[in-house]
Amino acid sequence: MARAMTVTRFAPSPTGRLHVGNIRTALHNWMLAKKRGGRFMLRIDDTDAARSREDYVEAIRSDLSWLGLTPDGEERQSARLDHYERAFEALRDAGRIYAAYETAQELELKRKIALGRGLPPIYDRAALALTEAEHAAKQGEGIVPHWRFKLDHDQPIAWEDGIRGTQKFDPATLSDPVIRRADGSWLYMLPSAVDDIEIGVTDVLRGEDHVSNTAVQIQMFTALGATPPRFAHEALLVGSEGKLSKRLGSLGCDAFRDDGIEPQALVALLARLGTSLSVEPIGDVAALVETFDLATFGRAPARFDAGELARINTALIHELPFAEVAERLPDGMGEEGWLAIRPNLDKLADAADYWSLVTGPVDAPDLSDDDRTYVAEAAQALEWSADPWHTLTGTLKESTGRKGKALFLPLRLALTGRGSGPEMAALLPLIGEGEARARLIAAARA
Ligand code: GLU
C-alpha cells in the first residue's frame, strides 16, 4: 500500500537549549522531509510542566529559524492532554494498561535482587497478579497507583530500521513501561506514540538511544490500531576525543554564533557527519538535500570536530554572495568592498575591522628614511585608472628598480597602516584617489 506524503518531526523537550546533537536530529528530519517533498513538524514535548520553560520553547523556534529549518507546523504536547487521556482509556479498557503501586525504592530493590540472581532487571509484573480485592486494599490505604503499559509477550517485535537494518526484540525481555505517574502526569512513551499517529508522522528518525523505546512504541501503535511509522535510529554524536563530552552537550546555536560560525557551515557539516558521503563546504542546502540518503548513514558514532567546522565555515564565507550578507556588513560597505575583503575573513564579524582600512583613519606606519622618500614618490606617481594598484606599482618598479616586498610593503603600510590584509589591487580603488594620495603623503612625513 502506498504511503501518504512523508511527514517527519523533531520533538525536543523544552527543558534546555538545543545542543549540537539535537540540531543534527532536527536537520536530518528536515532533510528527509525535503528530499521526499514532505512536511517537517516541530513537536514541543512539554508534558513535564515542572521542567519545561517558555523561554526554551522560544529559543528552540529561533534556533531552528537561524539554521533555516523552518517547520511546516507545530504541535505542543501540553495542548493535547485530552488526546492522551482518550488513548489511555481505550488501552485500559482493552486490558493493555494496569495499575501498579511499587515505590521507587521497592523497584530498585527488585532490580538489585534480579541482577544478583543473574536475571535481566526487568519489572516482574507483580502488580498484574493483584486481585481486585488487593487493588481495593491498596487504594483503601490511600496508595495512588501509577500506570504501566502491558507488553504483549506473544507478539514478537521487529522492524526494518532505515539505518540499523532488521531489528528484533522479544517483548518478554523488556519491562512494561510506566506511562503515567501517580499524579496523573505523562511520561514520554505514550504521548509520543499518540502524537505520531494523530499528526500522521510517517518517518521517525532519532538517536539510537531510543531503539528500545521504539520496540515498546511499536506495540503501542498496534494496540492503538495504527500502522507503525518507518523508524531509523542514527548513531550518536561524540566529541573528537571519542566521548559524548559535557562540552558537546552544551554547545548550541548561541555558542556557534558567538564563534562566528555561519548556520550554513553547521548545516554542511552535520548533514553528512557520520555518513559515507564526504563532508564538504557546500553552501547550497538544496544540493545537500539532493544527496541525503539514510542508506549512507553508518553505525559508528559520528565524531564532531570543531576544527573541521571552522574550516568549513571559512571556506563558505569565502563564497558567500553579497546579497546574503549585505545587512550584516558595516555601513557603507558595498559589493566591491565585500568581494575585496571576503577572501581574508574567517568570520563575518571581522569585516568591520578590514573595512576600517578603507574608511580610515589608518595608523601612521613607522617607515625608514628610504621608504619615506619612496612613498613620497608614490604620491607623485599615483595615477587613477581602472586598476590603479597595478598602474602604480608598474610605474614605481620601473622608476625605482624596487621589486617584491620592497616595492609593495611600504605602499601597503602607508595606505592601510598594516603589513598585511586584503589584496591591495582590490582595496585601492575603494580607498579612492584623493584619500590614497593623502595617506601616502602623510606616511612620507611621519
Ligand atoms: N522528547 C523526546 C526526546 O527529546 C523525543 C524523542 C522522539 O523523537 O521521539 O528525546
Question: pLDDT, tens digit, for every residue of 288-300?
Answer: 999 999 999 999 9
Beta bridge partners, 178, equal: 148
Distances (CA, A) of 391 to 263, 354, 375, 384, 395: 41, 23, 15, 8, 6
pLDDT, position 27: 98
Residue 149: helix, strand or coil by DSSP? strand
Instruction: Write the residue with the smallest CA distance to atom 3 of ligand 1.
Output: 12
Which mutation among 19, 41, 192 tests ligand 1's pocket best, with the greatest number of atoms within 8 A of CB? 192
What's the pLDDT at 446? 81
Q: Report the candidate in 16, 66, 68 with the shortest Cα–Cα distance to residue 46.
A: 16
Model pLDDT, residue 18: 95
Alpha-carbon separation of residue 425 from 97, 430, 443 (angstroms): 76, 9, 19
Mean pLDDT of the residues in the chain: 96
Percent of the chain past pLDDT 90, that is, above it, reads 95
Tell me the per-residue pLDDT of 291-347, one tens digit each, with 9 for 90 and over.
999 999 999 999 999 999 999 999 999 999 999 999 999 999 999 999 999 999 999
What residue's CA is closest to ligand 1, atom 10?
Answer: 12
Domain definitions of the chain by residue range: 83-180, 322-357, 360-445
Q: Which atom of ligand 1 is nearest to the CA of 204?
A: 8
User: Is there a contact between 52 and 79 (Cβ–Cβ < 8 Å)?
Assistant: no
Interval between CA 20 and ligand 1 midpoint (Å): 15
For position 3, what pLDDT does the model report? 58
* CATH topology assigned to domain 360-445: Arc Repressor Mutant, subunit A (1.10.10)
3-state SS, residue 419: coil
The closest-lying atom of ligand 1 relative to the alpha carbon of residue 45 is: 1
CA 12 to ligand 1 centroid distance, Å: 6
Name the closest-CA residue to atom 5, ligand 1: 11
- Long-range pairs, 155-160, Cβ under 8 A, ≥24: 155/219, 155/222, 157/215, 157/218, 157/219, 159/214, 159/218, 159/228, 159/231, 160/230
Please, are residues 329 and 351 in contact by the beta-carbon 8 Å criterion?
yes
Closest CA to 374 of 395, 345, 390, 358: 395
Nearest protein CA to atom 4 of ligand 1, as residue: 12
Report the nearest atom of ligand 1 relative to the CA of 13: 1
**Cα-to-centroid distance, 325 and ligand 1 (Å):** 35
Q: Which conformational region is residue 132 in: left (phi greater than 0), alpha (psi within -120 to 50 degrees), or beta?
A: alpha
**Separation between Cα atoms, residue 275 and residue 31, nearest integer Å:** 14
pLDDT given for residue 249 in this prediction: 77
Measured in angstroms, how far is the CA atom of residue 97 from the centroid of ligand 1? 22
Name the one residue in this structure whose C-alpha cell is 565555515. 313
Which atom of ligand 1 sits closest to the CA of residue 192?
A: 9
Identify the architecture of domain 83-180 in CATH.
Answer: Alpha-Beta Complex (3.90)
The answer to whether domain 83-180 and domain 360-445 are alike in fold is no
Structure confidence at residue 248 (pLDDT)? 80
CA of 213 to the centre of ligand 1 (A): 10
Cis peptide before 145 (omega within 30 of 0): no
| pLDDT tens-digit series, residues 16-38 | 999 999 999 999 999 999 999 99
- The whole-number average pLDDT for the span 244-252 is 77
Measured in Å, residue 112 CA sits from the centre of ligand 1 at 28
Per-residue confidence band for 1, with pLDDT thresholds at 50, 70 and 90: very low
38 Cα: distance to centroid of ligand 1 (angstroms): 20
DSSP string for 327-373: GGSPTT--HHHHHHHGGG-SSGGGHHHHHHHHH-PPPPP---HHHHH
Mean pLDDT calculated for residue range 265-273: 98
124 C-alpha vs ligand 1 centroid, how far in Å? 27
Q: What is the pLDDT of residue 244?
A: 65
Identity of residue 111 = R
Mutate to test the pocket of ligand 1, among 10, 51, 188 (most ligand atoms within 8 A of CB): 188
Residue 358 CA to ligand 1 centre (angstroms): 51
Check: pTM over 0.85? Answer yes or no. yes
Q: 182-226 pLDDT, tens per residue?
A: 999 999 999 999 999 999 999 999 999 999 999 999 999 999 999
Pocket of ligand 1 (CB under 6 A): 11-13, 45, 188, 192, 206, 210
Residue 10 CB burial class (10 angstroms; 0-12, 13-18, ≥19):
buried
Ligand 1 atom closest to the CA of 22, numbered from 1: 4
**What ligand 1 atom has the least distance to the C-alpha of 10?**
8
